Amino acid sequence: MSSISGADMAQAVCCWIKDHPAAFKSLMHIVHREVDSGNPCVQQGDVMKLASYAGIEVTITNQFRRDRTLWPGIARYMVMLSPRLARSLGFKASKLDRDDVDLIATWHEIVNPNTFFLAKSWKEAKRLVEEGDVSAL
């Protein structure tokens, strides 16, 4: 297991997103397509394969594939921004959860202070999906 803290993971993820906004949007689009097609389980490997097919820059997908600390944060941010993605994205325990990292504050500090999140956490996004909330449709 990595010795990086949850806070450091969140900062690394946000720096990656800030440095690769188009790639992040493309990854979100890929997951949206999978949710819309009814795929019940979208995993990192699926997204990377589809990203390669979609023409996302190879160096970005290779970095993403090698760095296992990016996906947990990226997936969490995806469902916090668009809770309906929690229909297909699953979550394992992460230092981001265990260290009780404020993902929204980290995003606002590094990526964009004006971003509005529809869910405060991946757990809230899952709950919104289960409840059929309009933000998760």
The two counts, helices (H) then strands (E), for the chain are: 8, 0
pTM of this structure? 0.91
Q: For residues 130 and 122, what is the distance between their CA atoms, to the nearest angstrom?
A: 12
Q: How is residue 132 written in tokens?
A: 């059929």
For residue 5, what are the contacts with CB-CB under 8 A and spacing of at least 6?
A: 95, 99
- pLDDT (tens, 9 = 90+) of the chain, 137 residues, equals 458 899 999 999 999 999 989 989 989 999 999 999 999 999 988 888 888 787 776 566 666 666 778 889 999 999 999 999 999 999 999 999 999 999 999 999 999 999 999 999 999 999 999 999 988 88
Do 98 and 6 form a contact (C-beta atoms < 8 A)? Answer: yes
